[in-house]
Amino acid sequence: MDNSQNASYQAGQAKGQVQEKGSQMMDKASNAAQSAKESMQEAGQEAKAKVQGAADAVKNATGMNK
């Protein structure tokens, strides 16, 4: 293998490694986004439950829940 073939081979190897690293980073970013989405959904559900509980407490206190 002459120098130009070796350089071409090395460039191909480097390109493949960069593509793989990029793919791994995209996977990590996607996983982080999914985790954040799920956390926000859980927080929203908790907030909704607390608001509902407060509304029920007001209804009970004012006798509107009968």
Q: What is the pLDDT of residue 2?
A: 85
Confidence grade of residue 56 (pLDDT, cut at 50, 70, 90): very high
**10 Å Cβ neighbour count for 19?**
10
What are the tens digits of pLDDT across the range 6-32?
999 999 999 999 999 999 999 999 999
- Containing domain of residue 38, as a range? 1-66
The pLDDT > 90 percentage for the chain reads: 85
More reliable by pLDDT, 1 or 2:
2
Confidence grade of residue 66 (pLDDT, cut at 50, 70, 90): low
State how many domains the chain has: 1
